[in-house]
Structure 1
Amino acid sequence: MDRPIRVLVAKPGLDGHDRGAKVVAAALRDAGMEVIYTGLHQTPEMIATAAVQEDVDVVGLSILSGAHMTLFPRVQELLREQGRDDVLITGGGIIPKEDMDALHAMGVGKLFGPGTPTSDLVDYIKRWFAEQQEHQRA
C-alpha cells in the first residue's frame, strides 16, 4: 500500500448502540487504517459530507435499527451526487440475508452480521483497496 486506507465509521439514524461500531473502528485502526468515527445519530447527509471532507476510501455504516434499506442507498446516492462513487460503502448490523443481497445488487459492498470476526472486515477492505490501487495503475 502506498498510503493508509481512510475509513469513516458512522452510526446513522436513531440507534443509540455504538459498541460494535467502536470495536470495528478500533480493529481497523489496529490494522493500520486511518479511521474517523462520526459518533451516534448521524444523518445520511452528515455522513456523506464528512466522507467527502475527509477524503475517505471507505464508509462503514453500523445499523441495528432496521432502516438499512433506506440508509445505505441514501448515503450511496449522496456520495454519487458529490462525485464520490469511488467510495466503498460497507457495514453491518442486523440485516437479513435477502436485504444484504438486495443492497449488494444496488452497489453496496459486502455487509457483515453480528459475530463476524473483525479480521473478515479488515481483510475485505484491504482486498478491495488493493484492487482499486491496481485499477488505477493499469
Structure 2
Amino acid sequence: MSADGEQEQRTIRCLVAKVGLDGHDRGAHVIARAFRDAGFEVIYSGLHKSPDEIVQAAVQEDVDVLGISILSGAHNTLVPKIMDGLREYEADEDTLVIVGGIVPEDDREGLKEAGVAEIFGPGATMDETIEFVRENVHERE
C-alpha cells in the first residue's frame, strides 16, 4: 500500500519471444518497446528459439505474460508445443499467452483451445494489445 492508502500496482513482467526459424523480428521489437513504454518489464528472447527454450525462459523469469511473435506459418506446430511445456511446469494458469503475427482465421480457434488468450494480427494497435494485457493478466500475490 502507498502512503495515501491506495494499492500499488505491480509491474507486469513480459517475455516477447520469437519461435522457430522466423527471422522477421521488427514486430517483436515494436511490441517490446510499446510494452516498456507502458511500464511493463520486458525480456526479449532473441531470434530462432525453440519452444523448449521459450518455456524455460518464461518459467525461469517468472513472467506474467508470454508474447509469441510468429510469421513463419508454423504456429499450429510451435505454439501448442509451448503451451504443453508451460503445462508441464504448471505455469499455464499463471501466464497470459498472446500471439502476434500472421495467423489465418481458420487456425485461431485451435490455438485458443490450446490455451492462447488472444491473437493479434496485422492492424492490431499497440494500445489494444496493452489494454488486453492489463485487463487479462493474472493478479499475483
**2:47 matches 1:40:** yes
Aligned residues: CA RMSD: 1.3
Length-normalised TM-score, structure 1: 0.91
Q: Which runs of 4+ in 1 moved over 4 A?
A: none
Aligned residue-pair number: 133
Which residue of 9, 12, 17 corresponds with 2:16? 9
Deviation of 1:115 after TM superposition, in Å, equals: 2.2
Distance, in Å, in 2 between the alignment partners of 1:43 and 1:72 is: 10
Deviation of 1:61 after TM superposition, in Å, equals: 0.5
**2:44 matches 1:18:** no
Length-normalised TM-score, structure 2: 0.90
Query: Quick one: which amino acid aligns to residue 60 of structure 1?
Result: G
**2:71 matches 1:64:** yes
> 5+ residue gaps in structure 2?
1-7
* Cross-structure match for 1:114: 122
Deviation of 1:106 after TM superposition, in Å, equals: 2.2
* Cross-structure match for 1:29: 36
Q: Deviations over 1:115-134 (max 9, x none)?
A: 211111100000002xx32x
Percent identical pairs in the alignment equals 53
Which residue of 119, 132, 135 corresponds with 1:127? 135
